[in-house]
Amino acid sequence: MKKYFDAKEKSSWRERKEKQDQALAAMVRLGYKKSSMLKKILDQHQIHPAKIKTREDLEILPIISRERLVEMEMAYPPFAGLEDPSAKIDRIFTSPGPVYEPHLCENDYLWARAFFAAGIGSQDVALNAFSYHLVAAGLTFHYGLRKVGATVVPSGTSSSQIQVQLIRDLGITTYVGTPSFLMSIIQQSKEMGYHFKKDFRLKKACFAAEPLLPDLRRIFEKEYEISTYQMYGATEVGDVAYECSSKSGWHICEETIVEIVDPATGRNVTPGELGEIVVTRLNPIFFLLRFGTGDLSRLITEKCACGRTSYRLAGIAGRVGEAVKVRGLFIAPSQLKALSGKFDSLPIQAVVTRLGHNDLLTIRLEKVNAQIGTNHWEERFRKIFKEICTVKVDRIEYLAPGTLKTDQKMIMDLRKWET
């Protein structure tokens, strides 16, 4: 029985580093010729492209945060000048900000190793509950599932009732989506009179875009006998890491260079120390070097029982900066500022909390005139908020004028991630 997706997964540390260093150096040389922005960045820092020969050399480059990438794309649309303008781009995705990302064709190995590590193969029928509309998740997970031979049901973000119907009628064995949505589907199945564990064949679940809390994992695995796996990535850089059957950290993907850095200095921390996850995806068309995810983690360098030799991430310990992920999508202060501008600089604050296993997004607004809070006004506000921020508002709180101070954070994340 095939144990690994390919030979790369059991390469020695030295072999993997040599190949990645060679690919990185080639990417920088090509990017300097093709990308106006990468050339500008290197020239500004007086860095000759030949200086970037190894992953250690990346430290001399600046980290590009998501907020910074948004600013760059706004200044140099649509791809901030980071692209090869002569390259054939197969697909263009977007994410809130907006950020536009050119993607390689479906021959890329995005997520295939993650699904293989989860034991998914030709025997599986997978429900893909990620959106196929505009954002990268639906299609990239779809092609990863197809590469391991699974049959895919592209359910997207259909209602939980429809998802239950698909799981029942099509004999779904694998779920791909967020953990909170799977729990909603399970609850819906109960309301429809089903016993989820007895009546359905679903036994594997691959989660991304939001944390899988330990208590929720226990519920899935103990009460419903669903084997759960976590996957970690970002639209800007693709798949970053994934969980194997040992579930002792997330293996870093073979086409990805991950640094764990001190957010204040951009320098790599000692393996085992907490720092920001900074990602460089080896890519011949989009030359985004040192993308700062804003997530905090640490490296695990010890061998994994599964036999894969890549270093692992020890989960996500928190966030750097002000952008916050809600139900799998980021909300950034820049979006709230744009929203405020559409309502005459209306003071706005977003508050993210947790209700059970679900994120709850509350928007606090100052009632600076009589129109604010009326049914028609609120309907328009919710619509424009969804257009700009993608995420749906759960609750709106109306405050007295002057309540929100200019020095307050525009986004408050009050969620507790402890069990």
Q: What is the pLDDT of residue 106?
A: 65
- Token duo for residue 214: 């330990």
CA 97 distance to own-chain centroid? 14
Q: Does residue 75 sit within a domain?
A: no
- Kindly report the backbone phi and psi dihedral angles of residue 65, in degrees, each rounded to the nearest multiple of 5, phi listed first: -75, 170
The residue assigned the tokens 């967020």 is 178
Number of domains forming the structure of the chain: 1
pLDDT-above-90 percentage for the chain: 79
pLDDT greater than 90 at residue 333: no
What's 337's domain CATH number? Answer: 3.30.300.30
Q: Does residue 287 sit within a domain?
A: no
Q: Does residue 362 sit within a domain?
A: yes
CA distance 69 to 72: 5
pLDDT in tens, 28-77: 999 999 999 999 999 999 999 999 999 999 999 999 999 999 999 999 99
Q: Does residue 99 sit within a domain?
A: no
Q: Does residue 378 sit within a domain?
A: yes
pLDDT in tens, 92-134: 998 877 889 998 776 777 999 999 999 999 999 999 999 998 8
Q: What is the pLDDT of residue 322?
A: 66
Q: Does residue 266 sit within a domain?
A: no
Average pLDDT over residues 173-183: 97
Q: What is the pLDDT of residue 326?
A: 87
Q: What is the pLDDT of residue 406?
A: 83
Q: Does residue 380 sit within a domain?
A: yes
Domain of 375 in residue numbering reads as 325-413
- Token duo for residue 123: 């025997």
pLDDT in tens, 247-276: 999 999 999 999 999 988 999 999 988 889
Provide the whole-model pTM: 0.82
Under the banding of pLDDT at 50, 70 and 90, the label for residue 419 is very low
Q: Does residue 91 sit within a domain?
A: no
Under the banding of pLDDT at 50, 70 and 90, the label for residue 418 is low
CA distance 200 to 173: 8
